[in-house]
Amino acid sequence: MKVKAFSFSASLREPYPRQVTVKTAVYAVGGGSIQRLECQTRSFSIELDALDFDAEFGDTIQLTVADVVRGLASGEFECSVSECEGGNTLLKVYEVLLNGKNFKLLSAYKLSEGRLSKIYADTLTNLAPWRERLSSVSKLLDLSPQALEGV
Amino acid sequence: MEQVSSAITERPSIKYSELAKLPPEELEKTLKRYIPSLMPKAGVDYKVYLGKRPELREGERLVAYTLSTCPHCYALVTAVLYEKEGKVYERKVCPEHGEFEELYFGDYTTYERFRKWQRDGKGIWTPNVPLTALCPYNCGLCPRHKSHTALLNIAVTNRCELRCWYCFFYAVKAGYVYEPSLNHIRFMLREARKTLPYPAIAVQITGGEPLLRDDIVDIVRIAREEGYHHIQVNTEGIRLAFDPDIAVKLREAGTNVVYMSFDGVTPYTNPKNHWEIPYALDNLRKAKLGAVLVPTVIKGYNLHEVGSIIRFGVKHADIVRGVNMQPVSIVGRVPKKERDKLRVTIPDVLLEIEKQTDGQIRREDWYPVPTVVPISRFVEALRGKPQFELTTHFACGAATYLFWDDDGELIPITRFVDVDGVMQLLDKAAEEIASGRNKYIVTLGVLTKLGRYVDTSKAPKRFRSKRKFLSYIFNILVKHDYTSLGEFHYQTLFLGMMHFQDPYNYDVSRVQRCDVHYVMPDGRIVPFCTFNVFPELYRDRAQKFFSYEIEEWEKQTGKKLAEEVYVRNVKKLMGGEAYKRAYDGVADVFSIPYEEHVLASKKFGIPVVE
Does the distance separating the beta carbons of A67 and B509 come in below 8 Å?
yes
Instruction: Count the residues in chain B.
Output: 610
Measured between alpha carbons, how far is residue A55 from residues A72, B211, B310 in Å? 20, 42, 45
Query: What residues have CB less than 8 Å from A5, skipping those under 6 apart?
Result: A24, A25, A26, A39, A56, A81, A82, A84, A92
- The residues in A 63-92 lying below 8 A from B, measured between CB atoms, are 64-67, 69-74
- On chain A, the residues whose CB falls within 8 A of the CB of B387 are none
Biggest alpha carbon distance in chain A?
Answer: 48
What is the pLDDT at residue A72?
80
Element containing residue A147 per DSSP (H, E) = helix A145-148
What is the pLDDT at residue A57?
97
Residue B426 in this model has a pLDDT that exceeds 50:
yes
How far apart, in whole angstroms, are the C-alpha atoms of residue B260 and residue A109? 49
CA angle A46, A51, A54 (to 5 degrees): 100
What confidence tens digit (pLDDT) does each residue in B54-80 have? Answer: 999 999 999 999 999 999 999 999 999
Instruction: Count the residues in chain A.
Output: 151
What is the pLDDT at residue B346?
98
Alpha helix ranges (H) inside B156-243: 171-174, 182-193, 216-225, 238-242
Q: Which of B446, B447, B466, B443 is nearest to B455 (CA)?
A: B466
E strands present in B183-340: 202-206, 230-235, 257-261, 290-294, 296-297, 320-327
Is residue B139 left, alpha or beta, with left meaning phi > 0 and alpha meaning psi from -120 to 50? beta
Alpha helix ranges (H) inside B81-129: 108-115
Torsion, CA B370, CA B372, CA B373, CA B375, rounded to 10: 180
How far apart, in whole angstroms, are the C-alpha atoms of residue B409 and residue B416? 14
- On chain A, the residues whose CB falls within 8 A of the CB of B118 are 15-16
Which comes out higher in pLDDT, residue A84 or B486?
A: A84
Element containing residue A34 per DSSP (H, E) = strand A33-36
Residue B9 in this model has a pLDDT that exceeds 60:
no
Strands B48-49 and B61-69: unpaired
DSSP B141: S
CA angle B93, A66, A93 (to 5 degrees): 145
Backbone angles phi, psi at B602, to 5 degrees: -65, -45
How far apart, in whole angstroms, are the C-alpha atoms of residue A97 and residue B93? 35
What is the pLDDT at residue B3?
32
Mean pLDDT, to the nearest integer, of B163-171?
84
* Bridge partners of residue B517, in order along the sequence: B152, B527
Kindly identify which residue of chain A lies nearest to residue B385, measuring between CA atoms: A126
8 Å CB contact between B314 and B491: no
Q: Which residues of B260-273 are buried (b: 16+ CB within 10 A; e: fewer)?
A: bbbbbbbbbbbbbb
Q: Which of B346, B359, B336, B263 is nearest to B304 (CA)?
A: B263
How far apart, in whole angstroms, are the C-alpha atoms of residue B101 and residue B3? 30
8 Å CB contact between B129 and B36: no
Using a CB–CB cutoff of 8 Å, tell me whether A99 touches chain B: no
Mean pLDDT, to the nearest integer, of A52-60?
96
Does the distance separating the beta carbons of B51 and A54 come in below 8 Å?
no
How far apart, in whole angstroms, are the C-alpha atoms of residue B51 and residue B49? 6
Average pLDDT of every residue of chain A: 93
Q: Which residues of B331-365 are buried (b: 16+ CB within 10 A; e: fewer)?
A: beebeeeebeebbbbbbbbbbbbbebbeebbbbeb
What is the pLDDT at residue B473?
74
Does the distance separating the beta carbons of B115 and A16 come in below 8 Å?
yes
CA angle B532, B533, B535 (to 5 degrees): 60
How far apart, in whole angstroms, are the C-alpha atoms of residue A5 and residue A39? 9
8 Å CB contact between B36 and B199: no
Residue B320 in this model has a pLDDT that exceeds 90:
yes
Q: How many CB pairs under 8 A join A and B?
A: 92
Query: Which 3 state secondary structure label does DSSP give B520?
Result: coil
Measured between alpha carbons, how far is residue A46 from residues A89, B1, B36, B337, B450 in Å? 27, 10, 25, 34, 48
> Which residues of B make CB contacts under 8 Å with A?
1-2, 6, 48, 50-51, 62-67, 78, 115-116, 118-120, 122-125, 127, 131-135, 142-144, 146, 197, 393-394, 508-509, 512
What confidence tens digit (pLDDT) does each residue in B68-117 have? Answer: 999 999 999 999 999 999 999 999 999 999 999 999 999 999 999 999 99
| pLDDT class of B481 with cuts at 50, 70, 90 | low
| pLDDT class of B49 with cuts at 50, 70, 90 | very high
Q: Is the peptide bond before B347 cis (omega within 30 degrees of 0)?
A: no
Sign of CA dihedral B527, B74, B81, B305: negative
Does the distance separating the beta carbons of A16 and B118 come in below 8 Å?
yes
8 Å CB contact between A138 and A28: no
How far apart, in whole angstroms, are the C-alpha atoms of residue B148 and residue B146? 7
With 0-12 / 13-18 / 19 or more C-beta atoms within 10 angstroms meaning exposed / middle / buried, residue B125 is: middle
Mean pLDDT, to the nearest integer, of B31-36?
95
Does the distance separating the beta carbons of A65 and B67 come in below 8 Å?
yes
Mean pLDDT, to the nearest integer, of B518-530?
98
Mean pLDDT, to the nearest integer, of A116-134?
93
Query: What residues have CB less than 8 Å from B420, skipping those under 6 apart?
Result: none
| pLDDT class of B4 with cuts at 50, 70, 90 | very low
Residue B483 in this model has a pLDDT that exceeds 70:
no
**Interface predicted TM-score (ipTM):** 0.95
**Confidence (pTM):** 0.95
How far apart, in whole angstroms, are the C-alpha atoms of residue B539 and residue B536? 7
Mean pLDDT, to the nearest integer, of B173-179?
94
How far apart, in whole angstroms, are the C-alpha atoms of residue B172 and residue B163? 9
Residue B233 in this model has a pLDDT that exceeds 80:
yes
Residue B599 in this model has a pLDDT that exceeds 70:
yes
E strands present in A37-125: 39-43, 76-85, 89-98, 101-112, 115-121
Does the distance separating the beta carbons of B119 and A66 come in below 8 Å?
no
What is the pLDDT at residue A136?
94
What is the pLDDT at residue B10?
58
Does the distance separating the beta carbons of B63 and A14 come in below 8 Å?
yes
Measured between alpha carbons, how far is residue B276 from residues A36, B280, B501, B593 in Å? 71, 6, 29, 18
Q: Which of B3-17, B137-151, B305-319, B381-395 has the lowest mean pLDDT?
A: B3-17
Mean pLDDT, to the nearest integer, of B531-546?
96
| pLDDT class of B11 with cuts at 50, 70, 90 | low
Residue B482 in this model has a pLDDT that exceeds 90:
no
Percent of chain A with pLDDT over 70: 100
Torsion, CA B127, CA B129, CA B130, CA B135, rounded to 10: -90
DSSP secondary structure, B21-65, as one string: TS-HHHHHHHHHHTHHHHS--BTTTB-EE-S--PPP-TT-EEEEE
| pLDDT class of A115 with cuts at 50, 70, 90 | confident
Q: Which of B399, B345, B411 is nearest to B369 (CA)?
A: B399
Strands B397-404 and B410-412: antiparallel
Query: What residues have CB less than 8 Å from B340, skipping those under 6 apart?
Result: B103
Query: What residues have CB less than 8 Å from B98, skipping those under 6 apart?
Result: none
Measure in Å the smallest separation between the Cα of B461 and chain A Cα atoms. Answer: 39
- On chain A, the residues whose CB falls within 8 A of the CB of B393 are 15
What is the pLDDT at residue B2?
30
Kindly identify which residue of chain B lies nearest to residue A73, measuring between CA atoms: B64
